[in-house]
Structure formats: C-alpha cells, structure tokens
C-alpha cells in the first residue's frame, strides 16, 4: 500500500524560520522581482538552502520550501507555516506528493549501482530499490523470495538502512556485508543469521545510504521504492509486489492517493 505520511526531518528548521522571519506583506500577484527578493530572503534563513528551493504556489502569498525531500509551506510575511499536503481539487492532484516524489527520484538516481547489492538482470521489467536492515525479520522474508521476484521480472537493489543507527551492532553487521568480497553471498548469509565478523575494509556506503534513507522518509524496513519515486512501503509477497508495481506504472494522480 502506498505510504502517504509527510516526513519532515527539518520541521524544527521550518518552525524556527516562522519564529524569526518577518517579510513585508505583498500583493496577491507580486512583481517578479518581489517574488525573487522573497525567495532570496527565505533561502538566507535556511542553512544550505538556495533561492531555487523556494517556489511560488497556486495560492497567492504562500510559498513552498523544499529541504532535501521535505516540503513545507510558508506565508510571504513569514508568520504562518503549513506542514500538510497541498491538493488541487479540480485535477485531484496531490501537489506536495508530486514534489516529494521528484526529490526521491533525484536521490535514487544518485545511488550508484556499484554501491548497492543487486539481484536480477539490469534489463528487468521492474527495478526497485530496497532499504534493508540485516536484523529485520521482514527483510529476511523478502530476501528468501528473491529468486521468485527475479523470475517475475523484478530486479532488487538493496541499500543499507540499519534502523538502530551509527555505532550499533546492526550498523557493524551491515558494514561487514558491504566490506565483503562477494556482497551478494555475504548478504544472503547475514539474512540466514550467520555472523559476518568485523568489517575488514575502509569506507563503506552505509553511512551515506542511511542518510539518504532519512531524506526519503524511510520509517521502517524493508522500505521499497520504485524508479519513479513511489514509496510502496514494507514487505509484500512477490505476486502482490508485482501487482503493485504494475498498478503504479499505469496509475495517475488521485486526491486520495499519490502518483
């Protein structure tokens, strides 16, 4: 089932912005230069933000702010913040989810195949990127069915998301898997509960992938994402996962669901 919850790791930044930002009120349809000035002023209040991260919305006087893959809305005078989803009723489009999906697509594209543990041919009909934790029971169940998924035309790219965070036993186990000479074999053995020992290599992509998972709103494992940026959610049996992928591939926007 599609995950529709709003994930705002930078909500405290937005809240601080509301408390400290004060801009002059603007007319319903401000001149282009005025719009640009507001974007610049808002961006200056957000560490690492750029003016292009601030966009106008269909609502006069309301601006969209994107921080990573998090999206919020703030009034032009800096007094009001909205952290919910914005819908266009006539077209039944979730505009916030569309923006969120764009961010997920960018993040997925930045994850190199060489840093993943992939099962299935590159030319498969469907490719999913799955954030996993080696100590996650449903991750183990998903991996036990990897051969069936591949036969159904689903290629799986595993990336690391040790839910317990840095410095924990699960984190160390995942680094050991990514340090292995044969990552596919190491992952399969770890999913069978085998002890992979301590990491025997230098840097791994585990920390970066964990950060990317947070950016994408991962709130449990396995977290399954399509190439189009759809967040399917957790474990599904192979046939149900395939059906979900087929449905999403031909699905349009709806007011009750996400594109």
Question: What pLDDT is attached to residue 241?
Answer: 97
Cβ atoms of 9 and 17 closer than 8 Å: no
Does residue 209 carry a pLDDT above 50?
A: yes
> Is 26 in the same domain as 145?
no
pLDDT of residue 31: 66
Please write the tens of the pLDDT for every residue from 13-72.
444 444 444 444 444 556 666 777 887 877 776 666 777 778 888 888 888 887 766 788
| Cβ–Cβ under 8 Å, residues 44 and 23 | no
Please report whether residue 24 resides in a domain.
yes
The DSSP secondary structure of 54-103, one letter per residue, reads: EEE-SSTTEEEEEETTEEEEEETTS--EE-S--EETTTTEEHHHHHHHHH
Give CA–CA dist 113/39, Å, rounded. 36
* Judgement on whether residues 210 and 148 belong to the same structural domain of the protein: yes
Domain ends where: 62, 97, 132?
A: 97
Range of the domain at 15: 11-97
257 within a domain of the structure (yes/no): no
Q: Of 52, 74, 97, which marks where a domain is finished?
A: 97
Among 97, 119, 137, the domain-final residue is 97
Burial class of 102 by CB neighbour count within 10 A (0 to 12, 13 to 18, 19+): middle
Same domain, 55 and 139: no
CATH of the domain at 176: 3.40.30.10
Q: CA 148 to CA 2: how far, in whole Å?
A: 22
Measured between alpha carbons, how far is 119 from 117 in angstroms, rounded to an integer? 7
Domain count, the chain: 2
CB distance 238 to 154 below 8 Å: yes
Is 3 inside any structural domain?
A: no
Burial 199-221 (b: 16+ CB within 10 A, else e): beeeebbbeebbebbbbbbbeeb
Residues 6+ apart with CB under 8 A from 164: 133, 135, 170, 171
Tell me: do 117 and 242 sit in the same domain. Answer: yes
Contact 204/195 with Cβ under 8 angstroms?
no
Q: Is the entire prediction scored with pTM above 0.95?
A: no
Check residue 130 and give its pLDDT. Answer: 98
- Looking at the fold, whether 120 and 217 belong to one and the same domain comes out as yes
* Helix, strand, coil share of the chain (percent; to 5): 40, 15, 45
Q: Are residues 214 and 117 in the same domain?
A: yes
């Amino acid at each position: 089932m599609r995950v529709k919850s709003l994930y705002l790791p930078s909500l405290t930044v937005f809240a601080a912005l509301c408390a400290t930002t004060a801009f002059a009120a603007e007319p319903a349809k401000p001149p282009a230069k005025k719009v640009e000035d507001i974007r610049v002023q808002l961006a200056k209040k957000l560490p690492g933000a750029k003016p292009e991260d601030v966009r106008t919305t269909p609502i006069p006087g309301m601006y969209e702010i994107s921080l990573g893959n998090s999206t919020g809305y703030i009034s032009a005078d800096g007094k009001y913040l909205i952290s919910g989803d914005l819908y266009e009723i006539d077209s039944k489009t979730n505009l916030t989810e569309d923006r969120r999906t764009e961010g997920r697509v960018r993040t997925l594209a930045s994850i190199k195949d060489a840093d993943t543990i992939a099962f299935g041919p590159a030319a498969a009909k469907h490719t999913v990127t799955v954030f996993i934790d080696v100590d996650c029971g449903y991750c183990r169940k998903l991996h036990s069915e990897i051969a069936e998924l591949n036969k159904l035309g689903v290629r799986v790219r595993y990336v690391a998301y040790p839910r317990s965070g840095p410095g924990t036993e699960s984190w160390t186990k995942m680094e050991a898997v990514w340090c292995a000479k044969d990552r596919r074999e190491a992952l399969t053995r770890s999913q069978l509960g085998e002890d992979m020992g301590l990491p025997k290599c230098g840097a791994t992509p585990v920390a970066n992938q964990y950060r990317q998972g947070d950016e994408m709103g991962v709130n449990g494992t396995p977290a399954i994402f399509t190439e189009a940026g759809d967040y399917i959610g957790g474990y599904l049996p192979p046939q149900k996962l395939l059906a979900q992928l087929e449905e999403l591939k031909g699905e349009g926007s709806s007011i009750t669901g996400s594109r």
